[in-house]
Copies of this chain bind each other. A is one copy, B any other.
Amino acid sequence: MNKEVLKDLSYGVYVIGSKKDNRDVGCIANSVMQVTSSPATVAVSINVDNYTNQAIKESGIFTCMVLPTDIDSEVIGTFGFKTSKDVDKFVPFETLDVDGYPILMDAISYLKCQVINTIENGTHTIFIGEIINSDKLNDKEVMTYAYYHEVKKGKSPAKAPTYIEEKTVKGKKKYICKICGYVHEVDELPPDFKCPICGVGRDMFEEIS
C-alpha cells in the first residue's frame, strides 16, 4: 500500500461549527461531501478527540463554512490549530447570526445541518446532516485542500504571490513554524513576524537551516 495516494483525493477547506454548553465551537475539516440531493445531505468526518465532535453529538447540529483562497490566515490558525475547549474561536472574527449559530462573514457560503446519522469509524466519526439552511455570501474563489497544502508547505506555483518563498537564496535562513509547519526563508525573522498560515508569533518559529 502506498499512502501517498491519499494525497491525490481532492477536497475543499471548511470550518465546521457547532455548540457545546451554549458556547460556539468549531474546527477545520476537509473531509466533507454531499451524499444525497433530495433531501440534500452532506457527510463530514471529524476526529473523535476533537472538541467539536462532542459538540455535534450533543447538539445534533453542525454548520459548514466554505473557505475562500484569500481567507485570513488567523481563521486557519484559530480553527485549525487551537482547541475550542480553551478558546472562543468565533470571537475575533466578523460573523453573521444564522438561527443562533455564527457564520464567518469571510466564508463563501454556509450550510446548517441537522444530524440524521452518526457512524463511528475508530478515530473518526462521520456525521451525516440534512441541510436545514444554506446560503451564499459571495463569489470568491473556493480554496481547495491542494491549494492550502501547497501554500502551507511554502511550495507555490510560479505565478502565486507566495512564490518568492520557494527560492533558495544563498545566505538566507529557513524558519519553520512549530505549530503548522510553514517554512519561511529570510535573512532574519523580524520580532513582529506572524505565521501567514496559522497566525502564531515569532516565538513559535525555529531555524532549520
Residue ranges of A at the interface with B (Cβ–Cβ < 8 Å): 1-6, 8-12, 30-43, 45, 66, 108-111, 117, 119, 121-124, 126, 128, 131-136, 142, 144-146
Contacts and interface: CB of A to CB of B under 8 A. Distances in A.
A169 to B, nearest CB: 27
A146 B69 CA distance: 15
Q: Give the dominant DSSP class at A's interface.
A: strand
Given A43-B126, A126-B43, A146-B142, A109 B5 contact: yes
Given A5-B136, A9-B33, A126-B128, 11 more contacts: A1-B132, A3-B40, A4-B109, A4-B136, A6-B34, A8-B12, A10-B10, A10-B145, A31-B34, A36-B122, A144-B144
Contacts of A136: 2, 4-5, 8
Contacts of A124: 35-36
B108 A8 contact: yes
B33 A32 contact: yes
